[in-house]
Amino acid sequence: MARWVEEHGRPGDDQTLRDVCATFQRRVVDTLVKKLILAARQERVETVVIAGGVAANRELRERAKTAAEKAGLRLVVPPFRACTDNAAMIAFAGLTRLARGEDDSDTLSVSPKTALASVTRKGSGRRG
Q: What is the pLDDT of residues 84-93, one digit of tens each?
A: 877 877 888 8
Average pLDDT, the chain: 86
Domain with 37 in it = 2-99
Q: Is residue 25 part of a domain?
A: yes
Q: Which long-range contacts (CB under 8 A, 24 or more apart) does 1-7 make?
A: none
* C-alpha distance across the termini of the chain, in Å: 38
Q: Is residue 16 part of a domain?
A: yes
Angle at 37 between CA 36 and CA 40, to 5 degrees: 85
Interval 68-79 mean pLDDT? 96
Amino acid at 52: G
Q: Is residue 30 part of a domain?
A: yes
48, β-bridge pairs: 75
Q: Is residue 114 part of a domain?
A: no
Q: Is residue 56 part of a domain?
A: yes
**49: phi then psi, degrees, rounded to nearest 5:** -130, 135
Supply the pLDDT for residue 62. Answer: 97
Supply the pLDDT for residue 77. Answer: 95
Condensed to tens digits (0 to 9), the pLDDT of residues 26-43 reads 999 999 999 999 999 999
Q: Is residue 57 part of a domain?
A: yes
Of the candidates 30, 28, 18, the residue with the CA atom closest to the CA atom of residue 53: 28
Supply the pLDDT for residue 107. Answer: 83
Q: Is residue 123 part of a domain?
A: no
Query: Which CATH number fits the domain that encloses residue 56?
Result: 3.30.420
- How many domains, the chain? 1
Q: Is residue 29 part of a domain?
A: yes
The answer to whether the beta carbons of residues 85 and 52 sit under 8 Å apart is: yes
The answer to whether the beta carbons of residues 48 and 79 sit under 8 Å apart is: no
